[in-house]
Structure 1
């Protein structure tokens, strides 16, 4: 029951809550994660429940601006109100509708509606956009993520990622002793040069402004590609200074959260002038808003890469397809699909440091 692109349609929506269980204690600078709630949205055409479009709203605890106590009630109101709305049935029309229907304050919900409606638009086959990742099974290079923990736990992860053939490793830092973290980086560099293994680190704002430069200079000794968010978000002048003087390239991550207007996004990039930005659609407002960030960055000569935000395979599939709609020139942060014991079974696979879509594997039941 696919509709012509110039039609205006109405759809029905439902949602269900799913608690994802981590395979291990996932350490971050904001604490340890053992579970994560996601809300799956299903959209269908009235009178035809066989074709389904699915999306995922999964705000990150203590980070997303829509990580609020009444999140489920807010989501329920959007879901219940959707059947009353008319949607221009085209990709552009769907993205425009979601931008106006879901407030800026609820970025993960907007992304979920974009996913679900675009999935339905393409026939309910988990295709979100026209892209070679879905149609041509194009592999996307990704980094292997090393979670925070004690030194032995992190070393074990590093060895596993190297054995699996990753050429880019990203290590979260800022939770254990800095000297121990440097030893772990040194362990990799003793075995592999920067040409063999690309190293990234993510501080999640763990450094104070007065100590940041000393630590950046120490980290630069390990031939790192970049560091994400060395100091907490909101300190534009300090970040500007660090981006200008640091021997290590800096990527903004948390800094992008809560910046809604295009002119404010442009102002942030112009003021701080970072080397890179990190884009998490769940946090910055979904597909359309992510595209706006990319357009601004590329026009200013700022590099970027995409990162998932602990979504299930439903959200990860959408982010991978969005990523594949651009010319990819560096590893992306799309390796989170293997974190959970009870993820939704999917055609997404990680092979030799790449994520790909295997059409011979079916999607599991949601």
Structure 2
């Protein structure tokens, strides 16, 4: 087995702003896993918030080459277990490799990943479409430019309720709000009453990731369900969220890929918690991996490829009517530039 890495720069359609970040471009890494005949693809974005750079990803994955050079692939789960000792401190790298392993496995066995997992693709929920923080006029314009049945609205400003009220004037779509750790417990509880009346379905990560005392108050008194994001990174965090959140939002890059996400989903179900899966601003390579797990989810946020101008690949797509899967095996990814050219 051999891995190939390439860095790409994704150009966003609009400046994307959340409570702790604002950008017009996103650096990402595509990983190709090959046995010389079959290739699988995975993705991991650079992320300043978590200190993830292409150089760190490249260094971590380079350490695997002695293992992979003579590796006999059996299943993605086994590859995850065999490589995790090398990658456990950098789950973004583990994610790229694991996504590629599932894609490779599906291509090798002649099946799409959802079929390998015994899932019905028709059961995938409709993805939300994200509206980043901006002036309210621009947020309305973004919403009008992309008619959608569910919007996730990024908040964490001094005028959050005014923003939601104004957006509500222009659509009857379902709303979800994400404060990205930008509120206090008192704000969240107070806002929840108004947001419920404005047709908001749930609140994602209102408090700082480690504010467990505050979340205990929010959990007890919020009029809306609360979903953990930054407070629930890996499988070990799921049990801790019980009694503090009504559900969890899994990010493949943060937890270490589909193999780890499947464990998190099973644990959340054991605790009777709702399960969402979110994305980064990433190409159809990463989005396609999310899509094949979507039938297991209550909610999905897989709009990353819709937010960029220069998608790197064809694959599964989020549409206003549901998820459209590519008619190909694995995760269905097909790179536009043919990477890697190993001739």
- Could you say which TM-score interval applies, normalised by the shorter chain? 0.7 to 0.9
Cα pair 1:54 1:126 within 8 Å, conserved: no
Residues 291-302 of structure 1: pairs in structure 2 closer than 5 A = 291-302=262-273
- In structure 1, the residue matched to 2:218 is 242
Structure 1 residue 252 and structure 2 residue 228: aligned? yes
Q: For residues 124 and 152 of structure 1, what CA distance do their matches in structure 2 show? A: 49
Find the partner of 1:269 among 241, 245, 250. 241
Q: For residues 56 and 206 of structure 1, what CA distance do their matches in structure 2 show? A: 28
Q: For residues 119 and 201 of structure 2, what CA distance do their matches in structure 1 show? A: 31
Residue 209 of structure 1 deviates from its aligned partner by 3.2
Structure 1 residue 349 and structure 2 residue 322: aligned? no
Comparing 135-144 with 339-348, greater Cα deviation is found at 135-144
Q: For residues 109 and 126 of structure 1, what CA distance do their matches in structure 2 show? A: 26
Q: Deviations along 1:256-288, whole A, 9 cap, x unmatched?
A: 12x563xx532x12352x112111111122222
- In structure 2, the residue matched to 1:26 is 16
Find the partner of 1:321 among 276, 292, 297. 292
Cα pair 2:288 2:317 within 8 Å, conserved: no
Find the partner of 1:55 among 42, 46, 62. 42
Residue 290 of structure 1 deviates from its aligned partner by 1.3
Specify whether residues 124 and 135 from structure 1 end up closer, same or farther in structure 2 by C-alpha distance, changes over 3 A only.
farther
Residue 69 of structure 1 deviates from its aligned partner by 8.3
Q: For residues 111 and 135 of structure 2, what CA distance do their matches in structure 1 show? A: 40
What residue ranges of structure 2 are gaps of 5+ in the alignment? Answer: none
How many pairs are equivalent? Answer: 333
Residues 65-84 of structure 1: pairs in structure 2 closer than 5 A = 66-67=51-52, 70-84=55-69
- In structure 1, the residue matched to 2:303 is 335
What residue ranges of structure 1 are gaps of 5+ in the alignment? Answer: 1-10
Cα pair 1:171 1:201 within 8 Å, conserved: yes
Structure 1 residue 173 and structure 2 residue 141: aligned? no
Residue 347 of structure 1 deviates from its aligned partner by 3.6
| 2:107 aligned counterpart, secondary structure | coil
Specify whether residues 28 and 133 from structure 1 end up closer, same or farther in structure 2 by C-alpha distance, changes over 3 A only.
farther
Residue 168 of structure 1 deviates from its aligned partner by 1.6
Q: For residues 178 and 136 of structure 1, what CA distance do their matches in structure 2 show? A: 38
Residue 33 of structure 1 deviates from its aligned partner by 1.3
Find the partner of 2:30 among 23, 40, 47. 40
Specify whether residues 128 and 358 from structure 1 end up closer, same or farther in structure 2 by C-alpha distance, changes over 3 A only.
closer
Comparing 213-222 with 197-206, greater Cα deviation is found at 213-222
Residue 225 of structure 1 deviates from its aligned partner by 0.7
- In structure 2, the residue matched to 1:96 is 81
Find the partner of 2:144 among 134, 156, 159. 159
Q: For residues 353 and 226 of structure 1, what CA distance do their matches in structure 2 show? A: 21
| 1:256 aligned counterpart, secondary structure | coil
- In structure 2, the residue matched to 1:208 is 184
- Give the superposed CA RMSD: 2.9
- In structure 2, the residue matched to 1:4 is none
- In structure 1, the residue matched to 2:253 is 282
| 1:32 aligned counterpart, secondary structure | strand
Q: For residues 240 and 126 of structure 1, what CA distance do their matches in structure 2 show? A: 47
Q: TM-score, normalised by structure 1?
A: 0.81
